Amino acid sequence: MLYDFIYKIRGISLKWKLLIPFLFFSLLGTTSLVFIGLSSQHVLIKEEEKQELQRFYELFLTMVEKNGEQALSMATIIAQNPRVKELLAAKNRDGLFAYSFPLFEQLEKEFGIRQMHFHVAPGRSFLRVHSPHQFGEMISYRKGIMDSMKGGKGVVGLEWGLTGLGIRGVAPVYLKGALAGTVEIGYPFDVGLLEELREKWGPHFSVYERKRPDYYPVLATTMGSCKLFPLLEKQLDASLIHPVVLIAPPGYPEMAILAGPIKDYGGEVVALVEICTDRSSIVNRLRNTRNLMIIIGFTGICLSFLLTWVVAVLFIRPIKDIVANAGEIADGKRETRLTAQSDDEIGLLTRSLNTMLDSLKERRRQVEHYAKTLEKRVKERTADLVTSEEKYRTLVDNLPLGVYRILCDGTTEFINPYFVEKLGFSTDEVVGYRGFWRSKIWGCDDQEAKEMLHVLIQNPNGIRTEREIWDKKGNRFVFIDHAIPFRDDKGVLKWFDGIMVDITEVKRLQEEALRGEEIRVLGEISERFAHEMRNPLATAGGFARRLRDSIKGDDPHEKMAQIILDEVGRLENILNVLLSTIKPFVLRMSEVDPQTVLRTSLEEIREQADSRKIALSASLLENRIPVSGDKDFLKRAFVSILRNAVFSMSEGGRLSVSTSLEGDNLVVWLRYPVKGVAEDDVTQFFIPRLTGDPGTNVHDLPLSKVIMHRHGGRIQVKRDGEDMVVTIELPVLKARGDDSRKCGSPGSEY
């Protein structure tokens, strides 16, 4: 039935197809706009009413707070009165009443206060000026009075008293630094206050006393006799926490009500205030707005329908003409182009039909031409395919990857030359041996090969795995093997193609990185152990020194104590060497001339060389040779190597230092004689030898090699007869001319 209805709609004219949707959407749009407009206006007005009620509630609380501050100010002024202080301290009730009663009458007349109450410690009523016959009872239940007495400060807030709920301010009275009592000024919390608020702001105010959690009798109201609004009784718990607002509650569309808590000085909710406003004018305004929008919307719908009718009629007429011309083109009855009468969409459609007509003519001509040149094009296409295949074959043969195709029975159908050359096998060995791939590449037996084929069958996207392969010479390679199965139209596996990538070098670098990390961790552990050993050694050395100093005479234990002390010192030197070697450091690279650093280093060790009668001979390049380095660390390395040379030589020897430029490197040569040099002395040159004399130990010697390596340089040690030769190479920062190779006077004393 629905299908028949849709079919009938499809059969109506284009004019009605345009009119019906336009009319429907104009009706829907207008109705939606009217509804949204009215709803939005209603929501905005309600929100404004809610904000206004909340503002009234805040003004109400502000008025209560203002009266309280005013009461506290008056109480503070009275408490500062010297006469009041004396009378209250002397507990002269009659004198205090006679003095304060005129003041009470004046304040009652001008400010409307109803209570003036004096109290004495420890919380007893002394004098009610407004009711002088009531006094003497304990008022410890009055938290504000007790806090003022204890804290010595004025307090303000709502509190219950004998006269009911009031806005009270309490101030302490001191005489000569001693508390004489307190004075309280209170405003009534009655209908007079609410009437004043109503006259000033407009809405009705009602205050309900909280007798019980479910019982709120009216305390004061501007509406005559009333009780708590029925719908608010269901939200009492919420209204005790924050104000509850009801805008146009059910059955009361012309009312807006807010119920909010009133808290006493202690923070307890003692009453609820109900603020009620009349919204009848708002209801009438909304009703008039709704009627106006409905009239405007209906008028707009009618005008829209009329304009749509006119547009549809004007739009359909040229379309009918174009449809008729298109039919003639389709039947092949028209060869001439159509005339475009406008530049709108109709004109664009006309030009499109003309383009289609021209295209049909061109296609007809091309079909005739293709029919004549079909055989020639087939040959050209075949030649292109052959060329493309040759390019693909050349690419595969020269790729630095292993490319292969393996049949289901294990036969290697294709393998590119790179893979064959990599493993050292010939093509005949690979293709002629059916089990080559299983035994040489997969490295498994027949059963494991079947399981691998099964895995390939189960994974249409192929498998990716890491393989260890040995070439014909027994060298180990690591490849990433990615095999992809190929199936025919019936899903039967025919073969699988694959690519193998050599990652042997990557694996080697990974292993080196792991070894470097292990070395770093061992260095951290060594540093930790060295620090942990330092404290016990210091303790042992201290006790050994005290033991040695405590032994007198020719006691043989003195020699033993000295041996212990020497060995502890030796261990401390070993720890210093270890810490100086493994301690991490950061190079601050800049442009540095190593020759300048070398001259400074020679000056630094001159005193030690002179003490051993060792001559320093320097032959350095004249020009400045800059390198990228850290000046301080380079100096530290040079000083360590030079000092080690001085201490390794016999007295009266000569230390020769020279520099030269070889290629892109600055080379520093150190030559000095050392007697009894063994092969181990050369290989273990950077392992310092700790002697009994602490001044001859070079702790930074191992670090000097690390510093040179961190600068991208090399340091080598060799023996030349009775001489030790140390060669240091540092890469120069930029190329220099030939004149930079000029040396100073060879053999000159430095």
Question: Could you please report the per-residue DSSP string of 258-285?
Answer: EEEEEE-TTS-EEEEEEEEEE-HHHHHH
Radius of gyration of the chain (CA): 54
Q: Is residue 405 part of a domain?
A: yes
Position 71 pLDDT exceeds 70? yes
State the pLDDT at residue 731.
Answer: 93
Is the same domain home to 342 and 439?
Answer: no
Is the same domain home to 210 and 174?
Answer: no
Confirm if 159 and 142 have CB atoms less than 8 A apart.
yes
Q: What's the order of all strands across the beta sheet hosting 412-415?
A: 412-415, 402-407, 493-502, 476-487, 463-470
Place of tokens 């212990």: 564
Q: What is the pLDDT of residues 504-518, one digit of tens each?
A: 888 878 876 776 576
Q: What is the pLDDT of residues 532-578, one digit of tens each?
A: 777 777 777 777 777 777 776 677 777 777 778 777 777 777 766 66
- Tell me which range, 104-118, 239-253, 526-540, is most confidently predicted by mean pLDDT: 104-118
Q: Into how many domains does the chain fold?
A: 6
Residue type, 11: G
Is the same domain home to 159 and 23?
Answer: yes
Position 132 pLDDT exceeds 70? yes
Q: Is residue 325 part of a domain?
A: no
Is the same domain home to 348 and 256?
Answer: no
> Once rounded to an integer, what is the mean pLDDT over residues 361-367?
77
CA 677, chain centre distance (Å): 62
Provide the residue range defining the domain that includes 345.
335-395
What length is written for the chain? 750
Indicate the pTM of the whole model: 0.40
* CATH value at residue 407: 3.30.450.20
State the pLDDT at residue 599.
Answer: 93
State the pLDDT at residue 527.
Answer: 65
Q: Which of 635, 630, 619 is nearest to 590 (CA)?
A: 630
State the pLDDT at residue 359.
Answer: 80
Give the C-alpha separation, 144 to 72, whole Å: 12
Q: What is the pLDDT of residues 568-607, one digit of tens each?
A: 777 777 766 666 665 666 788 899 999 999 999 999 999 9
53 vs 448 pLDDT, higher one: 53
Q: What's the order of all strands across the beta sheet hosting 155-161?
A: 124-128, 115-120, 178-188, 164-175, 155-161
Two structure tokens written together for 317 = 């007429």
Two structure tokens written together for 605 = 């060790």
State the pLDDT at residue 529.
Answer: 66
Is the same domain home to 172 and 308?
Answer: yes
* CATH value at residue 633: 3.30.565.10
Q: Is residue 672 part of a domain?
A: yes
* CATH value at residue 247: 3.30.450.40
Arithmetic mean of pLDDT over the chain: 78
Q: Which of 93, 287, 272 is nearest to 189 (CA)?
A: 272
Strand runs (DSSP E) across 176-310, as ranges? 178-188, 204-209, 218-221, 244-247, 255-263, 269-278
State the pLDDT at residue 741.
Answer: 41
Q: Is residue 328 part of a domain?
A: no
What interhelical angle do 82-89 and 14-79 show, nearest 10? Answer: 70
Confirm if 223 and 204 have CB atoms less than 8 A apart.
yes
State the pLDDT at residue 523.
Answer: 62
Is the same domain home to 240 and 156?
Answer: no
Is the same domain home to 215 and 94?
Answer: no
Position 660 pLDDT exceeds 90? yes
Q: What is the pLDDT of residues 454-466, one digit of tens each?
A: 777 777 777 777 7
Give the C-alpha separation, 332 to 351, whole Å: 18
* End-of-domain residue from the set 540, 557, 579: 579
* End-of-domain residue from the set 579, 607, 630: 579
Residue type, 162: L
State the pLDDT at residue 312.
Answer: 73
Q: Is residue 724 part of a domain?
A: yes
Position 232 pLDDT exceeds 50? yes
Is the same domain home to 648 and 601?
Answer: yes
Give the C-alpha separation, 246 to 239, whole Å: 11
How many angstroms separate the first and last alpha carbons of the chain? 117
Is the same domain home to 116 and 16?
Answer: yes
Q: Is residue 2 part of a domain?
A: no
Q: Is residue 6 part of a domain?
A: no
Is the same domain home to 420 and 530?
Answer: no
> Once rounded to an integer, what is the mean pLDDT over residues 256-274?
81
State the pLDDT at residue 737.
Answer: 46
State the pLDDT at residue 748.
Answer: 38
> Once rounded to an integer, what is the mean pLDDT over residues 494-510?
80
Q: Is residue 156 part of a domain?
A: yes
- Reported as a pLDDT band with limits 50, 70 and 90, residue 726 is very high
Residue type, 723: D
Is the same domain home to 135 and 173?
Answer: yes
Position 747 pLDDT exceeds 50? no
* End-of-domain residue from the set 557, 579, 601: 579
Is the same domain home to 107 and 38?
Answer: yes
> Once rounded to an integer, what is the mean pLDDT over residues 264-268?
78
